[in-house]
Structure 1
Amino acid sequence: MDEKETGRVEAFSDGVFAVAITLLVLNIQPPPLSDPNLLSDNGLLRYLANQWPDLLAFITSFATIGVMWINHHKMFSRITYVDNSLLSLNLLLLFIVVIFPYPTALLAQQYAAHPEGHTAAIFYSVINFLLAVCFNLLWRYASHNNRLLRKDADTQDIAAISRQYLYGPFINLFIFILAWINVTVCVAVILLAALFFALPGRSSSKASQSQRREA
């Protein structure tokens, strides 16, 4: 195990997250202003209004990847050592992250052309589920018996984070079921899930701080 390698892993991971987020915006195509129908204000406004599925898919995916990056950063702030298994699990997570723009584009295109269609939303929810599973595998491998964490890591803090991350696969399984029923509700729940995971372990961190003050 190497303590110095964590910085390199974080830097590489940050680059992959940045590329994935950048690719998301490429799914939003600017209007072809060579079209005379789009030269007027009304024509351009109609075009932009019709792009709302692309914008919704972009916002949802940006929130998902952004929150994933925040949690990845917080995770590695607690990880002190790196081994080959951790590197492999991290690469698996990044593999799912970097293909995320594809189901995003697919969801936007099908929703714009056929709002009642469910296939793209189902595929999108499967990718979300895989993200949650990979993230849990990465964290649980590193945190099991403080395998790769600081030796003085707060056990209550670690347990609280583990519990909150455990919700991820189950929430995304629920989202997968929703994708078969109502695509709009499915996307809304994905956004709410991103908010839920924005600040993992916050309560436990506060508890740890109060315990230190009491000590």
Structure 2
Amino acid sequence: MDEKETSRLEAFSDGVFAVAITLLVLNIRIPGLDLPPSKLPGDADLWRTLGEEWPMLAAYVTSFATIGIMWLNHHRLFTHIKHINTVLVLLNLLLLMFIVFIPVPTAMLAEYLERPDQHTAAIVYSGTFFLTACCFNLFWRYASYHNRLVGKDADSRAIQAISKQYLFGPLVYLIAFALAFVSTPATIIASFALALFFALPPRLPRPLSSNNDFTGLG
């Protein structure tokens, strides 16, 4: 498929990422929204009520940061991918299936974070991130294997550096998944820390200065 088809796939993916991020905000509840004006909480009660909503906000911020960094990675991968085929399109759809599902475990985690059965929600939450990161790895490794769909003049050192960095995503999410059985807050912290880590530009082999800002969650 030509460059036009590659651009279409990227544009479609951008739309799905946008939908996933938008769905996250729908889980945020406004305190007192269903109350009549005469029964709305005062300033003190409103601040207290907002403080009680910290599980929802923590899950929202973590998921927003993760989806945002994943979108950034997906976008930058297409600076290397010059061609697509049916297999890559299907792998991309598999990746997007998990991306757009993220708001579901996010809402679940926000609802159950302070309940006795919170660990189940944390397991589903971190498990979703783990599978998403695995899909990212599969997507990139299929495209870059023997320069299958990247440019023939692609720097092999840069390809290898990106591939190595992508291994951290599934490994850390697997740790977060294990932590979910013990500590739900630790799972959230690990997931958020990974997003922050991959927001920083890694060191790529010189002279690929144009790609030095690549980040990765896969």
Same fold (TM over 0.5): yes
* More displaced stretch, 163-172 vs 88-97: 163-172
Between 1-10 and 131-140, report the one with greater CA deviation: 1-10
Which residue is equivalent to 1:80? 82
Q: Does structure 1 retain, via aligned residues, the 8 Å contact 2:144–2:150?
A: yes
- The match for 1:213 is none
Q: Distance in 1 between matches of 2:141 and 2:70?
A: 16
As a proportion of its length, which structure holds more helix? 1
**Would the aligned equivalents of 1:2 and 1:83 in 2 still touch at CA under 8 Å?**
no
Unpaired runs of 5+ in structure 2? 210-218
Q: Normalization by structure 1: what TM-score? A: 0.91
Q: CA RMSD in A?
A: 1.6
Could you list the per-position Cα deviations for residues 175-215 of structure 1 after superposition, in whole angstroms to 9, with x for gaps in the alignment? 11011111111100101111222246x3115x2247xxxxx
Q: Deviations over 1:5-55 (max 9, x none)?
A: 111011100000000000001100112242555331112111111111110
Contact 2:20-2:101 at 8 Å conserved across structures: yes
CA contact (8 A) 2:109 2:118 kept: no
Cα distance, 1:38–1:46 mapped onto 2, change above 3 Å: farther
5+ residue gaps, structure 1, are 211-215
For this pair of structures, how many residues does the alignment match? 207
For the residues of structure 1 that align with 2:21 and 2:74, how far apart are their CA atoms? Answer: 15
One-letter code aligned to 2:5:
E
SS of 1:97's equivalent in the other structure is helix
Structure 1 consecutive aligned stretches of length 4 or more whose deviation exceeds 4 Å: none
- Rounded Cα–Cα distance in structure 2 between residues aligned with 1:78 and 1:178: 35
Q: Separation in 2 of the partners of 1:25 and 1:115?
A: 25
Is the counterpart of residue 159 in structure 1 residue 160 in structure 2?
yes
Kept in 2: contact 1:126–1:176 (CA 8 A): yes
Superposed, 1:17-166 pairs within 5 Å as 17-33=17-33, 34=35, 36-112=38-114, 114=115, 117-166=118-167
Normalising by structure 2, we get a TM-score of 0.90
The question of whether the paired residues in 1 share the 8 Å contact of 2:32 and 2:41 is answered with no
The residue identity in structure 1 corresponding to 2:50 is L
